[in-house]
Structure 1
Amino acid sequence: MTQDQRAIGYGLGAVALWSTVATAFKWSLAEMRPIELISIASTVSWVFLGGLLLYQRQDRRMLLRGWGTALWAGMMNPVAYYLVLFAAYDLLPGQEAMAINYTWALALALLSVPLLGHRLTAGDMLSSLVSYFGVWVIATRGDIFNMAFESPTGVACALISTVIWALYWLLNRQDHRPPLVAQWQNFTVALPVLWALVAWQEGFHGYSTGALAGSIYVGLFEMGVSFVLWQMAVHRISRTSKISNLIFLSPPISLLLLHVVIGEPISLSTLWGLMAILAGLILQQVAARRDRRHHPTPLSDAG
């Protein structure tokens, strides 16, 4: 097996895990509040990542650096991002929250214009219009001429989560910490805040073993193993374009799992909206590759 084949295997493993997390979110949120789910999941992920650092015998000097960055980065991810995202999943059907969350790549492209001085191309604008039309279809549940959303707060939370996630990655462009160290430090900073919020909101409430297992699953696989697998894929692949399209496998699998495990009926408006969102994301990738060919930069990826 070649190095690229191994990298694609790691990427497929990460995508497979990401495809299951919408189901795990809804499973746990049926009994837990968002703050309870994020606190337990973050604790599990912190233990997993810390154990991995110990196993790798990470240089202690690396662990002592970068805490200034971790102070604000940890407040964005996991605290702000997952609190808003889980609120969206709590208020919306899982299929709707999941589909809208996939527009984070568009938020990244749009925010890079004022923050990084990037150009807003015709391809960017077209892809954004197509994808956000898909969001509108989902938000109105197919009644696109009706302004009365079923859950405006849920839709707003889903969209705000994409902005937080995009801002997190844009602001982290100058973060020189190793990814695994950065993730563990962020969770280290976040945990006292999360547990304080739990205590402020009257602590943990009773819930079933299944809900607890779901929160552990989220922490271990959504925040932990999938992150490691994707980092392994990115760092081993010869051209990132070979794995970037793998993410498009996740939404249909997520829809199927939500239907089979949670019992959510797959809404026709979600299907049409998701198709528009994915079409917009594909248009964005095509436009970005064409732009790189015509305006190559020393930092651009060969893909």
Structure 2
Amino acid sequence: MTNQKQAMMFGLATVLLWSTVATAFKLALADLSPLQLLLIACVASVLVMGTILVLQGRWRLVFQLRRGQYAQSFMMGLINPCLYYFLLFGAFDRLPAQEAQPINYTWALVLAYLSVPFLGHRLQGRDIAAGLVCYAGVFVIATRGAVTDLSFSDPVGVAFAVGSTLVWASYWIIATRDTRDPVVGLFLNFLFGLPVIFAAAVATDSLHFSLTGSLLAAGYVGVFEMGIAFVLWSYAMKKAENTAKVSNLIFISPFLSLVFIWFILGERILPSTYVGLVLIMAGLWLQQKKAAQKQDAAAGVVSGGG
């Protein structure tokens, strides 16, 4: 099996897991607060990523970083998992899954925009067009199709969802300067973020919860969304000979996610959700096409020089 085929398999497995997490979020939030979900999921994620590092024989790398990199782990842990997942879970707590999930996918576009001032990238016409199309979709979803009324279904929930995209994009911009092993880095971010989440739970009396199915859903979120999915996607990117083809797999996820949302959660999928989601995916496709063209051009230069 070629590396590209392996990359596609890892990518598809990741997309399948990503497609289930919106449903898992809502199942967990049925009996848990966003902070309780964050605490349980973070504990599960730390355990699973630590186990992965042990099984891979890379546990020693956790203790071989410079002092400044441990401080970096704490600072990045405040962003992810602490702030990012608190906003994301807050959005899912207030909005139907079919609304919160598509909005969250616009983080890739936010990343492109933030890369202009922080990474020195150039903003082109296609970036602006992609943004207009994407956020037209967000507007349709947030207003449930009543775009002329300018009435949002839940302004705070929408603000949380949009805010989570800003935080997540900012995290990845900071991560461009991160020289740690990806899995080790994420493990330490979550490990250093866990005491902060625990302290917040103690301060808000969020340590008391019932033993229900929501706990299993929260564990699922930690194990798969925060842990295994990240590792699988890292493998996909590492083995990919054409990363654009693997990245395009993410366009499957939001549509497949709607199937789980409808079938498991029983949400009636609104026409506005389909319209908004198609607009968001169209905008992201424009953005991905630009990245794919750059990669193809680079590949042409390499092959031509060889």
What is the TM-score with the length of structure 2 in the denominator? 0.93
Distance 1:23 1:104 in 2: 19
| Residues 192, 298 of structure 1: alpha-carbon distance in 2 compared, 3 angstrom cutoff | farther
1:173: how far off? 0.6
Letter paired with 2:286: L
Letter paired with 2:227: G
- The answer to whether structure 1 residue 276 and structure 2 residue 300 are counterparts is no
Contact persistence 1:95–1:258 (CA under 8 A): yes
Distance 1:238 1:224 in 2: 24
Three-state SS of the structure 2 residue aligned to 1:174 is coil
Distance 2:168 2:282 in 1: 21
Contact persistence 2:90–2:160 (CA under 8 A): yes
Contact persistence 1:78–1:190 (CA under 8 A): yes
Q: Which residue of 1 aligns with 2:29?
A: 29
Select which of 146, 151, 163 maps to 1:148: 151
1:2: how far off? 2.0
- The answer to whether structure 1 residue 226 and structure 2 residue 229 are counterparts is yes
Letter paired with 1:246: L
Matches for 1:14-93 after TM superposition, within 5 Å? 14-58=14-58, 60=60, 62-65=62-65, 66-93=69-96
> Runs of 5+ in structure 1 lacking a partner?
none
Three-state SS of the structure 2 residue aligned to 1:142 is coil
Q: Which residue of 1 aligns with 2:5?
A: 5
Distance 1:254 1:23 in 2: 8
Q: Which residue of 2 aligns with 1:260?
A: 263
1:242: how far off? 2.1
| Residues 11, 61 of structure 1: alpha-carbon distance in 2 compared, 3 angstrom cutoff | closer
Three-state SS of the structure 2 residue aligned to 1:184 is helix
1:205: how far off? 3.2
Count of matched residue pairs: 299
> Runs of 5+ in structure 2 lacking a partner?
none
1:172: how far off? 1.0
Distance 2:226 2:301 in 1: 32
| Residues 13, 293 of structure 1: alpha-carbon distance in 2 compared, 3 angstrom cutoff | closer
Q: Which residue of 1 aligns with 2:198?
A: 195
Select which of 190, 215, 219 maps to 1:216: 219
* Fraction of identical pairs, as percent: 45
Q: Which residue of 2 aligns with 1:174?
A: 177
Instruction: Let me know the Cα RMSD of the aligned residues.
Output: 1.8
Distance 2:104 2:23 in 1: 14
Instruction: Name whichever of 282-291 and 125-134 sits farther off.
Output: 282-291
Distance 1:241 1:292 in 2: 8
1:156: how far off? 0.6
- The answer to whether structure 1 residue 161 and structure 2 residue 164 are counterparts is yes
Contact persistence 1:63–1:181 (CA under 8 A): no
1:61: how far off? 5.1
Q: What whole-Å deviation, never above 9, does each CA across 1:236-260 have from its counterpart, x for those lacking one?
A: 1111012010001100111110111
Distance 1:108 1:28 in 2: 28
Q: What whole-Å deviation, never above 9, does each CA across 1:76-123 have from its counterpart, x for those lacking one?
A: 100000000000000100010000000001100011111111111000
1:52: how far off? 1.5
Contact persistence 1:81–1:161 (CA under 8 A): yes
Contact persistence 2:244–2:292 (CA under 8 A): no
